[in-house]
Chains A and B, each alone.
Chain A
Amino acid sequence: MTATAGELRTRVADLLAAHPPAGTPRTDFLRARFDAGLAWVHYPEGLGGLGAPRSLQVVVDAELEAAGAPDNDPRRIGIGLGMAAPTLLAYGTEEQKRRFLRPLWMGEEVWCQLFSEPGAGSDLAALGTRAVLDEAAGEWVVDGQKVWTSSAHTARWAILIARTDPALPKHRGITYFLCDMHAPGVEVRPLRQITGEAEFNEVFLTGVRIPDAHRLGPVGEGWAVARTTLMNERVSIGGMRIPREGGMIAPVASAWRERPALRTHALHQRLLELWVEAEVARLTGERLRQQLVAGQPGPEGSGMKLTFARLNQEISGLEVELLGEEGLLYEDWTMSRPEHVDFTGRDAGYRYLRAKGNSIEGGTSEILLNIVAERVLGLPAEPRDDKDLAWKDLAR
């Protein structure tokens, strides 16, 4: 049965009546919301949803926000919500879904992603972290190194892909696991980046034991499972809604208005070009969102991340120049581990440096251009002479 907006409003009203936000502890409210099927309405009943169209979530969110209800602080648990949850939903056993989805959504258990490795970036399927089955114990023993892991130091669980058969070609010998970040042998070290801070971590896995019950999907099918995760990653990166003159262009436009002494003709032309491009990018994202709501998703989603990466870099570069002498300075190089990633936070130098990651993280712009060329435009695929080679025989 498909719920309507009206029915959802009634359910929200019932939830609010039974658990008035003012007098209910946050965790209790979130648990009640999950159990009422109002966490993510497009999820199945019993798993925080009602099997309703995804587009109706905005109705629920708006009603709850208006009532002053607490939310699950989605920024803190982005990887769980955006990547782990849809993959669990698609491939998890009933037991896994019941065990993991509720604490994930409530933020009681933070998730991180153990995918990239020092030797497997764009070519993620070449990953070398090994998982060997200890049949007697019914456990997998994992050894290897992962990198660019945000939230690893706060996470309780990780989605992990590891090589279970090195004799097979790279895409076929991978298996997907749910890894306990508190298990012996998991070591998390901060990875300091060009901004001076450590948003990410390196994760060393040494003899980490994962019960077979925490395998997600069949042995050797991990690549197909990981593709579900990665598709959701790009949707969540491209799906942000921003107001006119929001995002990276905002601080530059403000500085231009407030500090006439900084203005030059050359910078004016560049500012206007970028302001126009930022506004067009906003409209393109808005059009994409309208298409999704109307049930006609377009391929434009693959492009939004490319556009924002380029614009963020050009705009923040312009901002450093605009600031003149101030552009020579940097707020603080002290090593720190921020809770949230905020691309537009802090000063111009930080924005400039952090934006460099936008064309690398979540798929480099070069790889994304290949994807657009091949999947959207139907151009021939890149030569793949590693496709049928055993992983152990690949050059590295």
Chain B
Amino acid sequence: MTDSPLPSAPLDLLYSETEEELRAAVRSLLADRCDAATVLARAESGRPHDPALWDTLATGIGAAGLLVPEKLGGQGASHREAAVVLEELGRAVAPLPYLTSSVLATEILLACDTADVAPLLRELASGRQVCAPAVPLTLAPGAPLPALIRDGGGGVLTGTATSVADAAAADVLLVLADTGLYAVPAASAELTPLVPLDLTRPLARVTLDAAAGTRLADPVTARAAVAGALLSGAGLLASEQLGIAEWCLTQTVGYVRGRHQFNRPVGSFQALKHRLARLWLDVASARAAARAAADALATGSPDAPLTVAVAQAYCSGVAVRAAEECVQLHGGIGMTWEHPAHLYLKRAKADSLALGTAGHHRGLVADFAELPAP
């Protein structure tokens, strides 16, 4: 092998047997309790979260504690396993606060001093409590952290965070203030539900008006913890995007095989065959990119920031393209409220803004790969 100016760390890009078992358990749970009709009905009710389903996934299967060491009440697994859970959640557009509570909030806490966060971390790892970071869903790794909340003294917090994902399902909010990181009971905040593009991930404006918080970390630790969590979140979001894209591809292939026009399956027309073959290529590539990010995060590789940026720069677009192809190749039915394609389109499009756009991540690639702008 010739020398590369940018050496890459070796990665395990396959799924282990344990990971496949975990996938099977999550997939079977979601097939039973989270089919498209259920997701749509819940979304229409204005309360997409299903606490009973969360309990089975988080506590029953133990998915909430995958990133948490056993001594802190978790499963002591890694980003590789959490990525598999997210693939399945994406495949089902499941309206569960996994990315927010079990990845982002959990990663923030794991980067703090254990003595201060252990009790809350145990609650999250067991799934008994849900925690949402009070930051906009669009906040990206590598971007400046916004100063949204200020400490009026003694942990009395005031300020507003917009587009906070899953706040409605949260028991606790993690708040980054000028004086450090705070845990604030969701009941002490004013939550204004927003009307989200993605019906399966509720958004809220979180307003704190002299709310009392429990301090978990100093400002330096807090900012590093949030930055690190955003990196993990972005890397694992690629697996959710992979799951979305896979569902869209599988569903569309099944549809064009069965749908007849002009006395033949529409999937026998080369114009459609080629589009779907290209989409399959994109999905196969997205799998490699998403697995690479999960493995780099799991092993703490120094290559993780670049690998995550590559995965996000690539997988965002694949999920959106897959969902758009799904709508188009379903024809009229794909445009209806009744067919689930729109749930995937909305999730895919919202995910393309979450944790940094593809353009933002390409900018990070430019930095890491030393390809500077003019």
Contact = CB atoms under 8 A, between A and B. Distances in A.
A281 interface: yes
A379 B280 CA distance: 12
Interface stretch (B188-196, B213-221, B264-272): B264-272
Given A245-B5, A245-B6, A276-B313, A379 B365 contact: no
Contact of A271 (B13, B288, B371): B371
A67 B17 CA distance: 38
A376 B12 CA distance: 24
A245 B3 CA distance: 10
A377 B276 contact: yes
A376 B4 contact: no
Interface stretch (A148-156, A171-179, A190-198, A365-373): A365-373
Contacts of B359: 269
Interface in B245-299: 253, 256-257, 264-265, 267-268, 270, 272-274, 276-278, 280-281, 284-289, 291-292
Given A243-B4, A303-B281, A374 B373 contact: no
Interface in B1-17: 1-8, 11-14
A358 B13 CA distance: 27
Interface in B331-374: 359, 362-363, 365-366, 369-374
B182 interface: no
Nearest to A300: B284
A245 B368 CA distance: 13
Contact of B14 (A243, A291, A381): A291
A244 interface: yes
Contacts of A382: 268, 270
Interface string A101-125: 0000000000000000000000000
Interface string B300-338: 000000000010011000000000000000000000000
Nearest to B373: A268
Nearest to B265: A380
B366 A263 contact: no
B319 to A, nearest CB: 14
A257 B374 CA distance: 11
Contact of B11 (A241, A268, A286, A378): A286
Contacts, number: 143
Interface string A260-292: 100111001101110111011111101100110
Interface residues of A, number: 51
Given A272-B366, A275-B369, A379 B13 contact: no
Interface in A137-173: none
Contact of A246 (B4, B284, B287, B366): B4
Given A265-B373, A272-B371, A300-B284, A279 B310 contact: yes
Given A303-B284, A373-B273, A243 B3 contact: yes
A307 interface: yes
Interface residues of A: mostly helix, strand, loop or mixed?
helix
By size class, the interface of chain B is 35 or more
B5 A280 contact: no
A59 to B, nearest CB: 16
Interface string B1-44: 11111111001111000000000000000000000000000000
Given A257-B371, A268-B366, A287 B13 contact: yes
A272 B362 contact: yes
A380 B257 contact: yes
A265 B265 contact: no
A286 B291 CA distance: 11
A290 B310 CA distance: 20
B260 to A, nearest CB: 11
Contact of B288 (A245, A254, A264, A287): A287
A272 B365 contact: yes
A283 B13 contact: yes
A290 B270 contact: no
A224 interface: no
A280 B4 contact: no
Contacts of A303: 280-281, 284
B276 A243 contact: no
A276 B365 contact: yes
Given A294-B14, A369-B278, A379 B5 contact: no
A372 B277 contact: yes
A214 B283 CA distance: 45
A369 B291 CA distance: 25
Nearest to A267: B374
A264 B373 CA distance: 8
A373 B274 contact: yes
B277 A307 contact: no
A277 B358 CA distance: 12
A306 interface: yes
Of listed B7, B264, B284, residue having the most chain A CB within 10 A: B284
Nearest to B366: A272
Nearest to A254: B5
A271 B371 CA distance: 9
Given A257-B371, A272-B366, A290-B13, A244 B7 contact: yes
Nearest to A265: B374
A279 B371 CA distance: 14
Interface of B: 1-8, 11-14, 253, 256-257, 264-265, 267-268, 270, 272-274, 276-278, 280-281, 284-289, 291-292, 310, 313-314, 359, 362-363, 365-366, 369-374
26 contacts: A241-B1, A243-B3, A243-B4, A243-B8, A244-B7, A245-B6, A253-B5, A256-B371, A263-B373, A265-B373, A271-B371, A275-B365, A276-B365, A277-B314, A280-B310, A283-B291, A283-B292, A286-B288, A287-B13, A290-B14, A370-B273, A372-B277, A373-B277, A377-B280, A379-B273, A382-B268
Given A272-B362, A303-B280, 17 more contacts: A245-B6, A246-B4, A253-B371, A260-B372, A268-B374, A271-B371, A272-B371, A276-B310, A283-B292, A283-B310, A284-B284, A284-B287, A303-B284, A306-B281, A373-B277, A378-B253, A380-B265
